Amino acid sequence: MMKPPMFHGGIEPLKAEAWVLGIEKLFEVSPCTEADKVQLVAFTFEDDARRWWMLVRDENKEFTWAHFLEIFYEKHFPQCVWDRKVSEFMELKYENKLVAEYEAQFTNLAPFTPHMVDTGYKKTRQSEGGLHDPILDKINVLKLPTYIDVLDRALVAEGNVANRKQKFEWMGRI
């Protein structure tokens, strides 16, 4: 049996999110009922989280995992922080990042805007839209069908743009 991640509480949204991801990863390899999930997470609470849980568990006798997440996020991931992450996602642009850096930010922020990436088409177009113009010009004309296709072609285009720039710089020194 794998050891579940412990949670100490506090208003640290990214730690709370990382804890939830760790717990859900555990559920993937150890399937359990909704009630078992809630009992397991209660076991991982320490300090402030344990005190919070003791207050809310008596008010909510029939917990489902979805209901638990709702009250957990209400407490540990305030709406203002969530809203900030949505804004970051909507304003995410390639700018001076590498495609890999852009993709990592896209992947980290996408869960905060599920309505914008809830289909393959939306996710693909959204990821394409933040790319840097020299790369976007080469990618969007292809109307690639999947997010992975866009990522793959963007990485190739980024390499081509970098190689061309290096070649022109080298030729300028002659």
Distance CA 154, CA 99 (A): 7
pLDDT digits (tens, 9 = 90+) for 99-131: 899 999 999 899 888 899 999 999 999 999 888
Sign of the dihedral defined by the CA atoms of residues 139, 143, 144, 150, in that order: positive
What mean pLDDT do residues 13-21 have?
87
pLDDT for residue 174 = 55
High-pLDDT (> 90) share of the chain, %: 33
Could you give the C-alpha distances from 153 to 40, 96, 109, 135, 139, in angstroms and in order?
A: 43, 18, 21, 9, 7
Q: Which of 38-47, 57-66, 81-90 is predicted least confidently?
A: 57-66
pTM exceeding the 0.75 threshold for the entire prediction: no
- Contact in structure between 37 and 27 (CB atoms under 8 Å): yes
pLDDT for residue 146 = 93
pLDDT for residue 47 = 93
pLDDT for residue 57 = 86
Paired tokens of 113: 């805007």
Can you give the residue ranges of every domain in the chain? 13-77, 92-172
Q: Over 80: is that where the pLDDT of 84 sits?
A: yes
Helix/strand/coil for 158:
helix
- The residue type at 142: L
Q: pLDDT tier at 87 (50, 70, 90 boundaries)?
A: very high
Question: Mean pLDDT over all residues of the chain?
Answer: 87
